[in-house]
Structure 1
Amino acid sequence: MKRSISAEWLKLRHSRIGLVLAVLPVISLLIGCTNYYFNQGALQNSWFSLWTQVSLFYGEFFLPILIAICCSYVCRLEHLNRNWNMILDSPVSVASVFLAKLIVVSILILFAQALFMALYWLAGNLFTLPGPFPVETIGWTIRGWYVSLSISALQLGLSLRIRSFATPIGINLCAVLIGLAMYTAKLGIFFPFSLLTIGMCVLSQNKLTDIQNILFWMVNMAYIIIFASMSIRWLRSDDIVSS
């Protein structure tokens, strides 16, 4: 497993994935801060009002897209020059390959989450918002990263089986829209993309009840296990589309 993870990091050397990880959080912050600046008269809840604006674009759209891009990116070499044939003939198990990619993607998303929090703190200070920095937002960001693991497990399975770089990202965008509908219908706990909305308190900053909090952590863990197991099984039993 350690060698598989090291191999994944080597593939990312001299790549531009770091630029993508930085640009998308910056764009979402700029859009959110612009909204906040022009609506300060109606947004009177200091730090939390700023959070509603910046997290709306980031948590609902940019973060899911970023996850999909990272998953497609770490799988792209496997679809070139019949590299999958070489990997499947090597002594490394399919499970190790998949889990190594999941770990690497999780670290990349963790970096994006940390950058997003730093930018949020910086924006709040530039707006000279009153009151202390809300430490709750750190927990919300961590919960968003936790949900990203289940989404990443699903997206990796798609990206490893589908040669196209863009198709899994398109599927991701459709899932985002379904997630919004599920959240609106009060069924968000049953869909990972809706769990992202709940976890990061994008549309509502109300504190989760004890039962809701337990369900959030347990359901998402179930999704991580299910999606990872399904993806590994797909890779073991089905033909992978490779050039």
Structure 2
Amino acid sequence: MITFEFKKIKKSAIPITLIFFNLVGSLLGTMIFALNRKVLLDGTQAHVLWGQTVFYSSQIFTPILIGIICSISCQFEESNKNWQRLLSIPVKANRIILSKITSLSLVMAISQLIVLLFYIIIALVLKVPFANYLLDFLLWSITGWIATITIVTIQIFLSIRLKNFAVPILISAILAMAGLMTLFIGQGLFRIFPYAQIAVGDRARSLVPFTLSEFILFLVVNSAYIFVFYTLAVRQLKKRFI
């Protein structure tokens, strides 16, 4: 099932979309860093560059990117009536949804690595010393990836529920902006809002490692979202075709 999913991904516009969105987000953050670099202390530049590079990607561009790739993937099933074909084989609905989540989550793992690679390239070009903190940035990329699974699961549910290409993407954009707004409401809301979880995982705002309590909260929040929306997606698929 997962191999079949990757074959469909290769034939779609997802790889190009992946690079484009991550590049735009990284360059936007780099421009803001460059404009403010003169007022930064030398010992903080690597972390500030990380924060600027990943913040716009993780908080705005990546949630929208996930909305797009999930819509592309699910619309492939809608247009070719693959949902019905798979269920008639029969393949269980939970296995179909799990394969979809797994394949797209692996795509988002590649996305996180691309962001990290862009950061390294940008740091080298700007001559920002980062080698001593590279392990931290790698670990934050991994926790950021965990958060992408949450949004992938939500967007798959929305795509199945709405049976539409554009509306789930619009919802992802609105919720991404809502996640940005939670920063102005309070850190408590920001830490639990689903479309802010990638920024939380990437440590885009705090720029310091998780405390134990923060990490436990992060895992609990994301596990809960994934479980709830996975269950809803399976139920919705069954409701439509079984």
Asked if structure 2 preserves the Cα contact closer than 8 Å seen for 1:65 and 1:172, the reply is yes
* Partner secondary structure for residue 38 of structure 2: coil
Q: Report the Cα offset of residue 131 of structure 1.
A: 5.3
User: Matched residue pairs, number?
Assistant: 237
Amino acid at match of 1:180: L
Q: How does 1:87-236 map to 2 (within 5 A)?
A: 87-130=86-129, 132-134=131-133, 135-183=135-183, 184-185=185-186, 186-236=188-238
The structure 2 residue matched to 1:8, chosen from 5, 27, 35, is 5
Percent of aligned pairs with the same amino acid? 29
CA distance in 1, matches of 2:116, 2:80: 40
CA pair 227-75 structure 1, distance change in 2 beyond 3 A: same
The answer to whether the 8 A contact 2:147-2:197 is kept is yes
SS in 2 for 1:152: helix
Shift of 1:61: 0.7
Q: Is the 8 A contact 1:72 1:168 kept in 2?
A: yes
Q: Which moved more, 1:115-124 or 1:133-142?
A: 133-142
The structure with the largest helix share of the pair is 2
Q: Contact 1:121–1:133 at 8 Å: present in 2 too?
A: no
Q: Tell me the amino acid that sits aligned with residue 35 of structure 2.
A: F
Deviating runs (4+, > 6 A) in structure 1? none
The reply to whether residue 29 of structure 1 matches residue 26 of structure 2 is yes
> What residue identity is the alignment partner of 1:233?
R
TM-score by length of 1: 0.90
- Is the Cα–Cα contact under 8 Å of residues 88 and 94 in structure 1 kept in the other structure? yes
Amino acid at match of 1:86: R
**Matching residue's letter, 1:41:** K
Pairs within 5 Å for 1:40-51: 40-44=37-41, 45-51=44-50
Between 100-109 and 34-43, report the one with greater CA deviation.
34-43
Relative distance call for 1:51 and 1:131 in structure 2 (3 A) is closer
Which amino acid counterpart does residue 163 of structure 1 have in structure 2? Answer: K
Q: Would the alpha carbon gap of residues 131 and 198 (structure 1) be closer, same or farther in structure 2, given more than 3 Å must change?
A: closer
Q: How many angstroms apart in 1 are the aligned matches of 2:69 and 2:80?
A: 21
3-state secondary structure, aligned to 1:40: helix
How far residue 159 of structure 1 moved from its aligned partner, in angstroms, is 1.1
The more displaced of 136-145 and 202-211 is 202-211
Distance 1:131 1:10 in 2: 37
Per-residue deviation, residues 132-179 of structure 1 (Å, max 9, x unmatched): 341211111111100111111110011123232111011111211222
User: Residue type of the partner of 1:85?
Assistant: Q
Residue 39 of structure 1 aligns to a residue in which SS?
Answer: helix
Gapped regions of structure 1 (runs ≥ 5): none
Query: Structure 2 regions of 5+ residues with no counterpart?
Result: none
- Which residue matches 1:39? 36
Most deviating of 207-216 and 96-105:
207-216
Does the 8 A contact of 2:123 with 2:130 survive in 1?
no
Q: State which drifts further: 214-223 or 107-116.
A: 214-223
Q: In structure 1, give the amino acid aligned to 2:165.
A: F
Where 2:91 maps in the other structure, the secondary structure is coil
